Amino acid sequence: KQEVTQIPAALSVPEGENLVLNCSFTDSAIYNLQWFRQDPGKGLTSLLLIQSSQREQTSGRLNASLDKSSGRSTLYIAASQPGDSATYLCAPNSGGSNYKLTFGKGTLLTVNP
Amino acid sequence: NAGVMQNPRHLVRRRGQEARLRCSPMKGHSHVYWYRQLPEEGLKFMVYLQKENIIDESGMPKERFSAEFPKEGPSILRIQQVVRGDSAAYFCASSPQGGREKLFFGSGTQLSVL
């Protein structure tokens, strides 16, 4: 059974700081891993999708890495902004299924102006 | 191109009533997934549907819950005889094809059972 842990549970940083969010998962037999952000009262927005054959993906100020063998992924946010404040969720798909995502509880990020 | 549309945004039901949650996938998407987020917990997979077919319902509670995705119209998640423990945020996602691609999520339906 896939289990996902995200550390830290909450993070507060001043604007402009670079930061790293960590995700670990127990079943390394994944097809891909997605990072989402969730804003209060809203749905999830997909940020990055990394296929199992990839090591990293970049989109703007975001960079996600994947080390499948060790069951780890990181999301790096450069030059953080107050608009980045949200809950960030890591979701690998469950072993044996290429569509069933297992979510962590997320990291609540607050970027202070 | 409108995103995944869920309605209602908020639904209040008394114990024993039925709840019907609707999801219209993004245009061109024929694969729909339902997830549930209980308070203080991560989202959990419930069911995966294609048009007129249930592909995987391994995350659905055995009783009172059902889902459909008819040939025409939105996908429906139906909860019969709701109990307080059903109070949660229910999210729908869609994708153009099943499998190794991004899922696009709706804003969710917050179900409150009194």
CB contact under 8 A, B102 and A101: no
Chain A positions touching B98 (Cβ under 8 A) are 98-99
CB count within 10 Å of CB B104 equals: 19
Chain A positions touching B107 (Cβ under 8 A) are 41-43
Q: What is the pLDDT along chain B (114 residues), one digit of tens a residue?
A: 579 999 999 999 999 999 999 999 999 899 999 999 998 888 999 999 998 899 999 999 999 999 999 999 999 999 999 999 999 999 999 998 876 678 899 999 999 999
| Three-state DSSP string of B16-41 | CCCEEEEEECCCCCCEEEEEEECCCC
Residue among A42, A99, A101 whose CB faces B98 most closely: A99
Chain B positions touching A98 (Cβ under 8 A) are 98-100
Cα-flanking dihedrals φ and ψ of residue A12, to 5°? -125, 125
